[in-house]
Structure 1
Amino acid sequence: MNSITLEYAVVTDPDAFVGFKYYVKAGQAFNADDFADAYKLNRPDLDPGSVLATREAAAKLQPGEWLTVSHSVVA
């Protein structure tokens, strides 16, 4: 079983979105199932603590902000 940790950053410049990136717009909730599907990850492998932290960060976004979400895998 892999352990997948989510990482995120708040950005205000949509021009920073180069290539495929998963992001959450202010006013939207982070959906871990959608994230796992987008990257073809096994949802149960996502670290619950990092999922919660990402959800909380998304809930704090202000208008004009986006949360970019990425991940790292520890086998």
Structure 2
Amino acid sequence: MSERTTATMKGNLQTLIESGQEDNEELKTRVYVDTMGPESHNKVRGYGHMVTPNMVSYASSSSSTSNSSRKLS
């Protein structure tokens, strides 16, 4: 992951925390998915080979949702 992407995710996370959302793993996962975009080609980014979106809860719920239609609010 690039430094720019990491900085974007940290900034988005900080904004959400400052707006009153609880800093937890679910929020961090939402920020990651929204920053990186939906998974493609039946693979899940960061989980290695042979892992499909239906094996990972956040990916299975976001795989059919485009990044532009998801909001962090």
TM-score (normalised: structure 1): 0.29
Higher relative contact order (CA 8 A, sep 6+): 1
More strand by share: 1
More helix by share: 2
TM-score (normalised: structure 2): 0.30
